[in-house]
Amino acid sequence: MQAPAPTNSGGLDRRTLLLGGASLAGAAGLGAVAQSLIKPTPVFVAAGQRYDGPLHQTIADGLLATGLDPAWLRGRRVLLKPNLVEPSRRIPHMTTHPAMIVAAAEALRRWGARVSVGEAPGHVRDTEMALVESGVAEALRDARIPFADLNYEEVGWRRNRGRFSKLPGIYFPRSVLEADLIVSMPKMKTHHWVGVTCATKNLYGILPGIKYGWPKNVLHHHGIPQTVADIASSAPKTIAIVDGIDCMEGDGPILGSLKHMGLVLVGQSLPSVDATAARIMGLEPTRIEYLHLASRRLGPLDDRRIEQRGEPWRSVADPFQVLDEPHLECLRSTPEERLVT
């Protein structure tokens, strides 16, 4: 990544262009003008991936293909944020696979980064249990990767830069505030409320339960789409590495079914990575409200503004099932193909 994005909004130049577009076009045409001024964002897709394969090399290839500068990483603090929402040994396709976490750490450590893993599970108060049930505890111990329990760390308050909700500010754990780079490492899944959960929504899990409760009900009361976009806009620099190997479709993010895809996605813009994932899943990202909001600050959803690296998303697209609910069926990019559970 070229200079790890000075901010997670994709850089000062982009923000300047956004503001310039606003003043020229006025409120009515702001979105279209701003999007047209943003330079294309690269997203890397690797197919045919396996948890017992050379994932560290795939991830390194993806990071380089999307503009990561390895020299910048030397000595930097990198926090990997997997999805350990409600781990169960019976449902391994619900949470980020330990092999993905270790592979990402290996790739980044080879470039001199100081890597740790942090998570604030949204549905369980016992983080140690979540680590054991997900298999992550053993993997981190073997690879000697430190872990930060983000649910219970001391916190610091930061102004809400997104301002999509009425929250004036957001409390972040110390490990998040001290990180030079946060890597969102979600599992690619459908979601029974918002359609898709991937890199952007995974950032819900960097907020502390001691401030926002379980499952972050304070945020739910301020609007899930709005608070997802606020967190992504207010967090330190972020990139995405997506576990799209064994995914979840149907009643996600917890009770859905296994869908094998064999994919790894990488990119510096979380909304652009998620837009690519949504298209692969047969869903239209511009109809997903939190992505629509987050794209105003963090990167485009328009397929014409996303440079595909690696495999073209159309070559690996395989529609996911969603629940038979009107608010989800309307998200389908091919509604004539009714894929519901």
Q: Which SS3 state, helix, strand or coil, does residue 129 take? A: helix
Bridge partners of residue 283, in order along the sequence? 332
Percentage above 90 pLDDT, the chain: 79
Sign of CA dihedral 286, 45, 268, 84: positive
Q: Which pLDDT belongs to residue 30?
A: 54
Q: What is the pLDDT of residue 22?
A: 44
pLDDT digits (tens, 9 = 90+) for 89-133: 889 999 999 999 999 999 999 999 999 999 999 888 999 999 999
Give the CA dihedral 64, 243, 83, 42, nearest 10 degrees.
Answer: 40
41-46/257-267 β-pairing: antiparallel
Q: What are phi and psi of 266, to 5 degrees?
A: -140, 140
- Alpha carbons 102 and 106: distance in angstroms, whole number: 6
Torsion of CA 317, 322, 326, 327, to 10 degrees: -80
- Above 50 in pLDDT, residue 27? no
Range of lowest pLDDT (17-31, 114-128, 259-273)? 17-31
Q: What are phi and psi of 56, to 5 degrees?
A: -60, -35
The token pair that represents 145 in the structure block:
């990767």
User: Taking 70 as the threshold, does the pLDDT of residue 9 lie above it?
Assistant: no
List own/partner pairs for 124-130 with CB under 8 A and 24 or more apart.
124/86, 124/87, 124/214, 125/151, 125/209, 125/214, 127/151, 127/152, 129/87, 130/84, 130/86, 130/87
pLDDT, residue 259, reads 97
Give 39's pLDDT tier (boundaries 50, 70, 90).
confident
C-alpha to C-alpha distance for 47 and 311, rounded to whole angstroms: 7
Q: Please, are residues 103 and 66 in contact by the beta-carbon 8 Å criterion?
A: no
C-alpha distances in Å from residue 297, one per residue of 41, 247, 272? 13, 28, 11
Report the run of H or E that residue 50 belongs to, with start and end: none
β-bridge mates for residue 195, sequence order: 191
Is domain 43-339 given the CATH code 1.10.287 in the classification?
no
Six-digit token string for 86: 């409600």
Compute the average pLDDT of residues 208-227.
Answer: 92
The residue ranges of every structural domain in the chain are 43-339
Instruction: Measure the CA dihedral 285/335/83/206, to 10°.
Output: 40
What pLDDT, on a 0 to 100 scale, did the predictor assign at position 102?
98
pLDDT at 7: 39
Q: How far is CA 170 from the centre of its chain?
A: 18
How far apart are the C-alpha atoms of 35 and 18, rounded to whole Å?
8
Peptide bond into 146 cis (omega under 30): no
172 close to 207: Cβ distance less than 8 angstroms: yes
pLDDT class of 31 with cuts at 50, 70, 90 = low
Residue 197 confidence (pLDDT):
97
> pLDDT tier at 19 (50, 70, 90 boundaries)?
very low
> For tokens 């000697």, what's the residue?
144
